[in-house]
Amino acid sequence: MIVVIFDIKRLNIEQIIQSFIFSLFDENSMQNDNLKKGFIYGTIMVILVGLQPIIANSRPAMLDAYIFAAMTCIIQALIFFPIMRIEKNTIESCKEDNPEEKSEPNTLLYVWKKHKRILIYIGINFSVSQFLFYLGFELAGSINGALAQKTTVIFGLLFGYLINKEEVSKTQILFSFILLFGVTLAITEGSLNLLEFNVGVLIMFITTSLWMLAHAITKPLLANNEATPVQLVFIRNGLSGIILISSYFSFYFIFQPILFPEKINLLIDPINIIFFIAMGVIYGFDLYCWYKLICFVEVSKASVIASPTPIVTAFFAIFIGEIFTIFHLLGLIIIIISIYIIVREKKEGLDGGIQ
């Protein structure tokens, strides 16, 4: 699951909800209408995120991770373009209704002109990370890859501290190590032998670190109202798609021209098109549901709602021959508890952002 850093104040969701969906937080939580809406979006998001590794690892063998990443980025950009236009029209409508209100320029051209270097880097970053994302799932397996993704919380803390000077508590550091223990327990089937980490898991760690590095860099843009999350998602996917697909076909055209027609045919094969669209739609609407979720539910609680995604992955992974073991379950429980503690610490005064 791809993630974005937000500022709670910017989203104006303080005090929107008073409780959480689980009895862990409040017995009367479902009485809150916002929470009900958030729960619906959260449930859809968890299912979509859980399906991502299944779709990725079920794709035709002829589709390598590179072209698959390129096409899914393009599909996501196409999905978010109309969403971005709707957002722009909504903002302009609000300005007309409240002309006295001051707001920062937020056109796509403005964002591009002012932050061109950062956005080019983000495009390159996500080009690499999206390729590694699918390659990591391919080598690690759906379940282990989904569990390894949960390290985004740790890298979010690390880069938040290094780049944005966010405070990190001792409790967060402690539970970051506990989270890593949970991931290790699950992936090594209880042996805790780090040598049993396959290359795919290590690639997923690199992927999550690249994601969170990019998000830490773009967080000030969001915090200062200089860009919206939807704009950043559109730009990053648009640039990533262009970089990936142009470099892919340029390579084969220059160095392996005999294979160039075969690679072109990948784009028009009906089965391949179904997988391109399926992955792009699932990934894109997963992000959209995340944004809607944090509009109705506090970000810290939204993160906990999103944490059980490997359970969905494990359920569907049965159909592609993977097994969800007791160690996966124990590791996931440790991971969820650790995420809850870490984001609760963020909420209670250290930082208003979230991955």
Cα 343 to Cα 300: distance, rounded to the nearest angstrom:
5
Neighbour tally for 262: CB within 10 Å: 11
Contact 172, 309 (CB under 8 A): no
Instruction: Please calculate the CA angle 228-232-238 and round it to the nearest 5 degrees.
Output: 145
DSSP readout, 269-314?
-HHHHHHHHHHHHHHHHHHHHHHHHHHHS-HHHHHHHHTTHHHHHH
Cα 340 to Cα 158: distance, rounded to the nearest angstrom:
17
Tens digit of each residue's pLDDT (9 = 90 or more) over 139-164: 999 999 999 999 998 998 999 899 98
Tens digit of each residue's pLDDT (9 = 90 or more) over 312-343: 999 999 888 998 999 999 999 999 999 989 88
Contact 145, 201 (CB under 8 A): yes
**Which pTM was predicted?**
0.83
Q: Residue 15: which pLDDT band, with cuts at 50, 70 and 90?
A: very low
What confidence score (pLDDT) does residue 95 get?
64
Has residue 44 got a pLDDT over 70? Answer: yes
Contact 240, 127 (CB under 8 A): yes
Cα 164 to Cα 58: distance, rounded to the nearest angstrom:
39
The β-bridge partners of 7 are: 353
Has residue 2 got a pLDDT over 60? Answer: no
The β-bridge partners of 222 are: none
Contact 59, 275 (CB under 8 A): yes
Has residue 13 got a pLDDT over 70? Answer: no
What confidence score (pLDDT) does residue 354 get?
36
What confidence score (pLDDT) does residue 347 get?
58
Q: How many CA atoms lie within 13 A of 304 on its CB side?
A: 22
The arithmetic mean of pLDDT across residues 40-45, rounded, is: 90
Among 244-253, 323-332, 339-348, the minimum mean pLDDT is found in 339-348
Q: Residue 300: which pLDDT band, with cuts at 50, 70 and 90?
A: low
State in Å, rounded, how far the first CA of the chain is from the last one. Answer: 11
Has residue 197 got a pLDDT over 90? Answer: no
The β-bridge partners of 353 are: 7
